[in-house]
Structures are given as C-alpha cells and as structure tokens.
Structure 1
Amino acid sequence: MSQFTVVKMAGLLAEPLTQALLLLFVGLFLILRGRRRAATLAFVVSALWLWLASTSMVANFLMSQLEHDYPPVAAQNLPHADAIVLLGGAIRGEVSEDTLADMSGVGDRLIFAVAAFKAGRAPAIVVTGGAKEGFVPEARLMRDILVTLGVPSGAIVMEVRNRVTMDNNRFTRHTLAAMEAKSVLLVTSAFHMRRSLLVFDSLDIEVVPAPTDFQVVKGEFSLWHFLPDVKALQRTTWAMHEFAGYLYYSALKSAFFGEIP
C-alpha cells in the first residue's frame, strides 16, 4: 500500500462523518447480536458527536488549537527570503489545460503568495501540487492563476510531483536545492502550518511561516454556536484531518530518526 493511500485512509477515518457512520454500523451490528442497550448507546454517541462536530463552538475550539501559534502577518512585514513556497490544495475540481481553474475554499493561499511576491519579499514562487494520471497537475493550474494575477511566468517554479504534504520532503527539497535557496516563506493555511512545518523542518533551509486563510474569527459568543451548520462541520473535519496528519507525520519522523521518508 502506497504512502498516498495510507495518508488518505487515515484522513478519512479522522473525519467526524466517517466516525459517526462507523458508530451507526456498530449499532446495527449490536442489534443483530441482540445487544439493544449497547446499540442504543452507539446510536446516541453517533448522533451526539455529529451534532457537536457540526457546531461553531467545537469547530472554533479545534481550529484555534491549530492556528494560535501562527498569527496573521502582513505580506509587507514578512522577512526577505530566497523563495516563496506555495503549497497546493487551493484548486477546486479537475479542469482542462485551456481552462482557468476555480479556487477552492483555501484559495487565500494564492492571493497571499501574490501579495508577498509583489511586496518584494522573494524573487520567485515555488508552486507545489501534482495530479492523478491523465489530469493537469495542480501546480500548473496555480501557475496560470498566478500569472493572471500579475506574477511573471519566469518567476514561477512548478513542482508537479507532490500529491500530499509529506511529498515536499522528497520533491520540493530537490527543487529548492537546484535553486540554491537557503530560506523560504512557507505559504499555506494557518491551520495547516503546524503539519507543514513538521515536513519542512527536515529540510536544510530556513523556513519562515507565512500563514493565511484563517478560519477562526473572534466575536461574541451566542446560542448560534451550538446549532449545527455544514460550514462548521467542514472546519471540524479539516481540523481533525490536521491532527491525525500531524500525529502520523510525527510517528514517521520518530521511526526514521528525524526524517520523513
């Protein structure tokens, strides 16, 4: 089984909707075994967890644990570096080569990378992101958007082999080495920064966090925070995925003496 498959399976199991469905199946199995009291408990826990995961209260709490170490920084206040590394995930759907892609919910990454480049923080942007065979690599789609936003094509370097965050340890490492980059600004969503730094800390370069796409907006607490909302469920899902990914990457790093294979 490939690392890509393992990572995707682990991410799926970390999602609240998957966990709630698994509990439902457990409840059905217990009913078939005649254990109605245990089945009822499984059903109640499933419904309770799905409700909690769908509330802004839980989503904000989980996201705040991921984001609080990486506060917002204005692009013009970032230090100078040899390159900006823009992580993938900012493109929604599959498109053909002659179509400008749509940005996903984390498309702020692209905007912030452009802002940092135009502020003169680095002379080049390295865009990362591969694709399934037969599809256009995400890095190429992001390059097209960057060019549309005013970044010269000659200032963009594509790394098209990355499909998951840990691939940066193998592929982006070589790209940066070929550029002789000694320092980079790492642009990704604030909630994704902790796991990303775990990978980039393995590289022999200075990595400066350049977080964007913040999910927690501070405001007055209200009863609305307890009501289920599909957007809150999405944020909880992202957060759970990040926690699972961080634990997995940490385990790999420990097993391989500080390196992620």
Structure 2
Amino acid sequence: RGSPALCGQILTHLSTGTGLPEVTIVYTFLVDLIQPHTLLFLWACFALFRLWWKRAAPPRRLWLLFAPLLSLAVISTPAASHLALLSLESYSSTLEERPVEAEAIVVFSAGVYPPRGLRVRPEMDEDTLDRCLEAARLYKQGPPCLVLASGGKVDPEQAGPPYAAVMGDFLEQLGVKESDVVREEGSRTTYENALNCAQLLRKRGIRRVVLVVDAVDMFRAAACLRKQGVEVVPAPCHFRAASFRPSIPAFLPNPGAAVHVQRVWHEWLGVVWYRCQGNM
C-alpha cells in the first residue's frame, strides 16, 4: 500500500541498510486512522460530544451511551488485545525440540472450511494449518512416531469430510508416514478431543504425548487431556502476542484486535465452564 514515492523511499532505505524514514510512521498512523472501524468510532464519539455540548439529553443518559462506547473502544485496541492474549499465551512457550520420551504427537483441529460455491474442496483455516505444520516439524526431529489428528465436524450436516481426515491428508503431504497418521473423527469440542484421543492412546499403551494447538488454546486443551490421565508436553504454535510496540496505532480501535479479545473471552468462558463441569 502507499504511493510510488513512499515505496521508493522504503526500498532505498532497505537497500542501504538504514532505518525506515520517519514519514512511514506518519503514513502508518494515517492508514490506521482512516480504516472504517476507526472512523466509525470517531464518528460516534463526535456525535456523543455534540449531544453533550448542546445538552440534548440528561448527563445520566449520555453516560449510558458513553460507558459502553468507551469500553468497546478500549477492548478494540491492539494494546488491550496484547494484554488479553498474554493472559493465555504466557502459559507455555514454543517447543524447540521434540522430547525423546514423547511417544506420540496429538493435534487438535480448529476449523475447516467446507466445499461450497467456488471452494471445490475443503480447506483448513489458518489455525488448523499452523497446527499441522508444527506437528510435522516436530515429527521430523526424531524417530517416526504416532501423529494423532483429532477433529470431527462441529455441524454434522456440514458438507465435506471430518476435520481430522483433511488434517491427516495434509500431514502425509508434509512427509509424515501414512502408517504413522491416525485420525480421530468423532470429536466436536475440546473436551471430546481429549476424551477420544485418550481412549485411542490407551489402546496403544501410550501415556506421554506432545500436544499441538494454538498458544491461546493450550491452557484448556492441555488441562483436558491431562484430566484423562495423559502426560502432556505442550507445543503451542501461532502466537498472536509475540511482540508489542507502544505507538499511537496501538491505542486506536482496530477490528483485528477486537477479534483477538473476543477469542480470549471465549476461551476464558470455556475454562470456567469446563471447570464447573469437571472436564479439566
């Protein structure tokens, strides 16, 4: 994105090894500022300010409008998103090497897009793709071992194969031996992932595994699998809170940040619910 002149400046500084020009900071700020999500927030704030300035409504009613708007603005900032993600992703760090005592690699599914319209075949979402890539990386670090892909279809009426079937095929394309890939195709929740995988592992006499899921999901997923009596070595991937740089855009409402906060909120609700149910 950007004008040819700005792109030329950036390329020049990259080729000479010097830092990016200060103009790119302003450019990035302006690009973030004119995004639809940010503009709508500013518009709403301006409208609210006008109501307050003209005394068009009692202060109490204005506060009822201002409080949720302010809260929504705050939790939609990259800064709030970063803090929220850290509450879960700090649970474990990247597993650089597969432990020699690990007997299998377990991969829980995230999502798979079904064949529909122009999409003629099922496609893994970004989370499932990253998990399979991480599982294949760990698989190649030592002697061949079992790789258990777990995931059914959340909606039984959904077209296409179970998620684990798509994952298993991709793992084989990544170099995992067909004989080492096992597909668990009946689970629809994290708890069912853990329950069904534990049953399959017990039948094979396997007790210690490497678990691969997104970093934000690892706390609940690992706890569920341990609840089933399996020794778990966490291997989180797809870290979203890897770095944070304080800047003006970091404190502007951003739809991507709002999605991350919503993901964390969903996960913590899941933790509370599973605790109450005794699933973890």
- Establish whether TM, by shorter chain, passes 0.5: yes
The residue number in structure 2 matching 1:237 is 262
Does residue 81 (structure 1) correspond to residue 102 (structure 2)? The answer is yes
* Residue from 213, 223, 242 that aligns with 1:188: 213
User: Alpha-carbon deviation of 1:199?
Assistant: 0.7
**Counterparts in 2 of 1:44-55, with a 5 A limit?**
44-55=66-77
- In 1, the alpha carbon distance for the partners of 2:197 and 2:226 equals 13
* Residue from 133, 158, 174 that aligns with 2:156: 133
Classify the secondary structure of the residue corresponding to 2:227.
coil
User: Alpha-carbon deviation of 1:54?
Assistant: 1.4
Q: Residues 183, 77 of structure 1: CA spacing in aligned structure 2 closer, same or farther, 3 A cutoff?
A: closer
The residue number in structure 2 matching 1:63 is 85
Q: Any runs of at least 4 consecutive aligned residues in structure 1 with deviations exceeding 3 A, and if so which?
A: 35-42, 77-80
- In 1, the alpha carbon distance for the partners of 2:146 and 2:251 equals 44
The residue number in structure 1 matching 2:29 is none
- In 2, the alpha carbon distance for the partners of 1:247 and 1:239 equals 12
- In 2, the alpha carbon distance for the partners of 1:95 and 1:175 equals 29
Unaligned 5+ runs, structure 1? 1-34, 254-259
Q: Residues 38, 167 of structure 1: CA spacing in aligned structure 2 closer, same or farther, 3 A cutoff?
A: farther
**Counterparts in 2 of 1:1-261, with a 5 A limit?**
40-74=62-96, 76-89=97-110, 91-95=111-115, 99=121, 101-105=123-127, 107-120=129-142, 123-131=145-153, 132-134=155-157, 135=159, 136-253=161-278, 260=279
User: Alpha-carbon deviation of 1:197?
Assistant: 1.8
User: Alpha-carbon deviation of 1:79?
Assistant: 4.3
- In 2, the alpha carbon distance for the partners of 1:219 and 1:232 equals 12
Paired-residue identity, %: 24
TM-score (norm 2): 0.71
Classify the secondary structure of the residue corresponding to 1:126.
strand
- In 1, the alpha carbon distance for the partners of 2:65 and 2:128 equals 34
When the two structures are aligned, how many residues end up with a matched partner?
219
Q: Residues 40, 190 of structure 1: CA spacing in aligned structure 2 closer, same or farther, 3 A cutoff?
A: same
Q: Residues 162, 220 of structure 1: CA spacing in aligned structure 2 closer, same or farther, 3 A cutoff?
A: same
Structure of larger gyration radius? 2
Classify the secondary structure of the residue corresponding to 1:204.
coil
Classify the secondary structure of the residue corresponding to 1:107.
helix
The residue number in structure 1 matching 2:45 is none
Classify the secondary structure of the residue corresponding to 2:213.
strand
User: Alpha-carbon deviation of 1:127?
Assistant: 0.6
Amino acid at match of 1:175: L
TM-score (norm 1): 0.76
Amino acid at match of 1:45: A
User: Alpha-carbon deviation of 1:105?
Assistant: 4.2
User: Alpha-carbon deviation of 1:100?
Assistant: 5.4
What CA RMSD, in Å, does the superposition of the two structures yield over aligned residues?
A: 2.4
Classify the secondary structure of the residue corresponding to 1:211.
coil
For each residue in 1:43-65, what CA deviation from the matched residue of structure 2 results, as whole angstroms up to 9, or x when unmatched? 32322222122111111001111
- In 2, the alpha carbon distance for the partners of 1:177 and 1:50 equals 46
The residue number in structure 1 matching 2:19 is none
C-alpha contact 1:80 1:121 (8 A) present in aligned 2: no
- In 1, the alpha carbon distance for the partners of 2:63 and 2:216 equals 33
Amino acid at match of 1:94: P
